Structure 1
Amino acid sequence: MASNFSLDSSPVNYVSVNGIELGYREFGSGEPLLLIMGFGGTMDTWNETFVWELAQDYKIITFDNRGVGYSSDNGENYSLELFASDTAGLLEALEIPETSIFGTSMGASIAQELALNYPEKVDKLIFSSAVYSVNAPEAGLLKSMFQSFADNSEISPTIRKQADANLEWNGTYERLPEIRSETLLIVGTEDEYAPPGITLAMAEKLPEVQVIIFENTKHSGERYFPDKYSEATLDFLNKKDPADN
């Protein structure tokens, strides 16, 4: 990684979307690639190596979901559909008609809703540690975690609202065949919150899909193995479509 690179080397910019201000940063140049952060995280919690490596080939856009980091809140109840609407509004404000998306954990859930509700805005999809619902049979630990956050009056109201949004999400299992974007699913064998069985169940429903399972890797593995995850992402994004030849 370039020694002078850091996530705050790019200024925070703002756009008005759905009655709030979303803070975002941009790195690199080229075709856009939007990164959607997971539960409780902000754009400044992405792994720096991961972002830097992606930014060698793409214009990387990171942003804060409403109510966290640099993004404001207007008191509205959260839902994953609302987060997807915010994300679509960000792309509109940036005049990006279509982009590939990397979503991790809750960010992958938001990306699913984005692909289903705004398909024209989505090119390729990369999901890290995805679930199709917190009610998936193998997602018990994830659901328990969200419930413990939702019930804890001592933590930030924003995080409690994010937890509620995940618990109330109807999921996408029956709708996954409607996702027309080429999709890469990445998961680790040691992912306790979104075990590989969930990824494999999603792969059976998605029309155009690749799966990578990394050994000895935990939830949102790009935090621990940025080189592996960026390489898998770039290989997938840069793969030529035979129709282009």
Structure 2
Amino acid sequence: MATFTTMDGTTIAYQCSGSGAPLLLLSGQGNGMAWWDPVAPDLEGDQLVIRFDYPGTGGSDAPPSGYSTERFADDAAALLNHLGIESCCVYGTSMGGKVAQQLVLRHPSLVRALVMGCTSAGGPNALRMSSGAGARLADPDTKTAALTDLMYSPGWTAAHPGPYATLGEPSTRQARIGHRRASDRHDTWDRLGAIAVPTFILHGSDDLMVPAANASLLAERIPGARLRIIDGGRHAFFEECREEASPAVLEFLAETRIRPRQGAGL
């Protein structure tokens, strides 16, 4: 693990693994780079996999305020600049998909291709989890069981007893609240049409945390976006269904490497 410091003085921890074309991974709410531990080996074969801890997670600083998907996207851009990477492919899941949207909209020259999973555009047009599921998550007595059930199918957890990298990291109260607010306040609905890079959207058919209809809404708003629904997948489909999801992502990324970048004059 290495660190760098952003313009506002925040220390950000990051990690690079593998070699080849750069691929930036963006994790979910309340999680840092460990979110990707089960999946990163699938992606490292011919790619330089880059991931980092959001402020408030892992080895990064935990400022008392200033959390937003825009800020996380700017941190990602600062990391790419720190590494001397002019453009890369980006894969974000859950809140990481929202950060990916902000990254390509705020720093379009840095993103060559975009993959998003189990995410939404946010705002009033997004479809949200049921009130019953939200109540279980809000109850300290049922939170862990509820979150596990939203992430994975019972059959999968029976065969894979954990611990699970996606269930959140120890963090300060300010960071937990900050991440939740960052995700809740995200809204790119009116700007999605400006995304001009190849885009692949994946979602689990049985995702109750971020209902699968959000994937169709994203695909309709982003020009030329490709959509794939993973049958039986829940919110952490990218881990539980990795034997289907990871090859699909790799196939898409391989295609983008042989396609000219839009606006390149080719």
TM-score tier, shorter chain, comes to: 0.7 to 0.9
On the 8 A contact 2:199/2:224 being kept in 1, the answer is yes
Which residue of structure 1 lines up, in the alignment, with residue 166 of structure 2?
none
Which is bigger in relative contact order (C-alpha 8 A, separation at least 6)?
2
On the 8 A contact 1:47/1:226 being kept in 2, the answer is no
Given candidates 170, 179, 183, the residue that maps to 1:162 is 179
Given candidates 69, 75, 80, the residue that maps to 1:86 is 75
- Counterpart-to-counterpart distance in 2, 1:228 and 1:179: 26
Which residue of structure 2 lines up, in the alignment, with residue 38 of structure 1?
28
**1:93 Cα deviation after fit:** 0.7
- Counterpart-to-counterpart distance in 2, 1:188 and 1:70: 30
**1:196 Cα deviation after fit:** 1.9
TM-score, normalised via structure 1 length:
0.85
Compared CA separation, residues 86 and 42, structure 1 to 2 (3 A): same
- Counterpart-to-counterpart distance in 2, 1:27 and 1:233: 18
Given candidates 169, 188, 197, the residue that maps to 1:172 is 188
Given candidates 84, 90, 93, the residue that maps to 1:101 is 90
Residue 104 of structure 2 corresponds to residue 115 of structure 1 = yes
Q: Deviations over 1:121-170 (max 9, x none)?
A: 1010000101100533521449947x949xxxx9732111111122222x
The DSSP-based 3-state class of the residue aligned with 2:229 is strand
On the 8 A contact 1:34/1:62 being kept in 2, the answer is yes
Given candidates 113, 125, 131, the residue that maps to 1:124 is 113
Q: Deviations over 1:106-131 (max 9, x none)?
A: 00000000110100110100001011
**1:203 Cα deviation after fit:** 0.7
Compared CA separation, residues 45 and 137, structure 1 to 2 (3 A): closer
Stretches of structure 1 lacking an aligned partner (at least 5 in a row): 1-11
Which residue of structure 2 lines up, in the alignment, with residue 233 of structure 1?
249
Which residue of structure 1 lines up, in the alignment, with residue 156 of structure 2?
none
Which residue of structure 2 lines up, in the alignment, with residue 187 of structure 1?
203
**1:205 Cα deviation after fit:** 1.1
- Counterpart-to-counterpart distance in 1, 2:260 and 2:65: 45
- Counterpart-to-counterpart distance in 1, 2:255 and 2:91: 16
Moved more, 72-81 or 204-213: 72-81
- Counterpart-to-counterpart distance in 1, 2:51 and 2:260: 31
Compared CA separation, residues 86 and 155, structure 1 to 2 (3 A): closer
On the 8 A contact 2:120/2:214 being kept in 1, the answer is yes
Which residue of structure 1 lines up, in the alignment, with residue 56 of structure 2?
67
The DSSP-based 3-state class of the residue aligned with 1:233 is helix
On the 8 A contact 2:15/2:51 being kept in 1, the answer is yes
Which residue of structure 2 lines up, in the alignment, with residue 25 of structure 1?
15
Between the two proteins, the alignment pairs up a number of residues equal to: 228
On the 8 A contact 2:230/2:245 being kept in 1, the answer is no
TM-score, normalised via structure 2 length:
0.79
On the 8 A contact 1:26/1:61 being kept in 2, the answer is yes
- Counterpart-to-counterpart distance in 2, 1:193 and 1:136: 15
- Counterpart-to-counterpart distance in 2, 1:78 and 1:113: 13
Residue 224 of structure 2 corresponds to residue 216 of structure 1 = no
Residue 66 of structure 2 corresponds to residue 77 of structure 1 = yes
Q: Deviations over 1:160-183 (max 9, x none)?
A: 1111122222x1111110001110
- Counterpart-to-counterpart distance in 2, 1:71 and 1:243: 36
The DSSP-based 3-state class of the residue aligned with 2:244 is helix
Which residue of structure 2 lines up, in the alignment, with residue 6 of structure 1?
none
- Counterpart-to-counterpart distance in 2, 1:243 and 1:69: 37
- Counterpart-to-counterpart distance in 1, 2:88 and 2:66: 27
Identity, in percent, stands at 28
**1:44 Cα deviation after fit:** 1.6
The DSSP-based 3-state class of the residue aligned with 2:227 is strand
